[in-house]
Chain A
Amino acid sequence: MKPALTFLLIFCSFFAYSQSVLPTYESGKVAFIEVVKTDSLGKELLYENAGKWLQANNFQIQVSAEDSIAGKWVARQSFPVYARGYVSKKIHGKINYTLTVAVKENRYKYEFSNFTFDYYKENRNYEMVPTGKHKALEETKASGWQSLWEQHQKTTQRTVNTMIGSLKTAMIDIPKPKTETVLSKKSASQDW
């Protein structure tokens, strides 16, 4: 009984990592969406924190004047995904996505969406360069490279979850009030 249970545990540990589950929205597209409540944080502070975080994380900000008035940031970014190479990894492609952060009084909503995989290929200098070809991340099939495709989906899930954690931390940051330093002409030995 115990050996059978042991074997089952080992089997499950592999099986758990062979399935990729990316969250999808109503349209069937991959999206990570959440409304986060933040007590006592105003719209302006949330908007400013979101902007600072986007810039610090090298997002390409695409906000329009209307978005700004509405308290919304729209930005794009990409991250590489790798194929296993011998000794070191080789870029297989890049995952592009859009991040929208909309703020209101005491709450904000983030939306990671429009995920696409950009195909890369090797050029004559053995550099990996984009081909201009794309694949939507919600596609489940990748004939001929299924395991690699599932690995990229898992990488996307991990990467976005990390970004979400970082964003949430940054959004609740309250700037510390500035303290004035008063220079005294009295001697150092005087009781302050």
Chain B
Amino acid sequence: MTRRVVCYINQFFAGMGGEEQAHVPPSARPEAVGPAMQIQSLLGEEAVVVGTVICGDSYYGEHLEEARAECVRLIGEFKPDLLVAGPAFNAGRYGVACGDICSAVTGTLGIPSITGMYRENPGVELYSPKTFIVKTSDSARGMKDALGAISALAVKILKGTPLGAAEDEGYFPRGIRKNFFHETNGAKRAVDMLLRKLAGKPFSTEYEMPVFKRIPPAEPVKDLKNATIALVSSGGIVPRGNPDHIRVSSAESYGVYDISRLDDLTPENFESIHGGYDRVWANEDPDRVLPLDIMREMEREGVFGKLYDHVFTTTGTGTAVAHAERFGQEIGERLKKDGVDAVILTST
């Protein structure tokens, strides 16, 4: 079963000319053109380069939607198993075009794609999560090494060989963490790293600290007596039986429950499913984590205007930050739409 590869290159590497030909629209040839010929040679028997799609760098940049669509169409007609674009080295327009076509092909045709760029190419930051961008030198003088690395990765991907870490395979990380077994255990690696740090020697951290967005807090509530307040909880308090099957840890969903007719949470109607604390006391009285009883008392006494008629709940242990962010945005939008003035968020 022949593995089929298509290559994408620009007008220069297709031998059409330099900057003066950068406006040429997309075209296709049913053979390996330019660097694709060397790629075929490096792939050997493992795959066949069945076609090359060519587009001028300026054309792609100035007609993004049309160029992308036409190139995806031309590439798709060859029925490839893999796309190789560039390599673009440090050429910005070419890098963005390569990254864009790889991202589009992987996204719409569902096949893997590989390109190659120098670390300062703007295409790296834009597209590294969406395709495989092999690390190259800053100019075509590094073509031999770049094609060698690209072809080696291409063969592994085509054969389904499990890949190692990005650093070991020679491409820019795609923002995904994956478990591997190291040669030595974490304790030894930590001591080694600390000794290097103490000696002022260079060391490689295994995880760089993320930079968080700064979110300005909302203004304090001015008129509490007339305010509508909602209860939201990451304490895992759900209706008995956990009808929406919220996970006890690493939750990927939250529940929305009508409490308009309830004054009190009891073991008969609610329970705790949180996997991060001992649930005994929360199950004896779920109000301890989601204080509906006190809120109703204060509502009756007029401390605030109205308790919102739904509660939002999930389990906040091991929750992936991406999910937590999404929950917050969705819940916040709904509360805002329904005129809620403030939220009491109970966690554990």
**A complexed with B:** no
- Chain B residues packing against A (C-beta within 8 Å): none
A residues contacting B by CB (< 8 A) are none
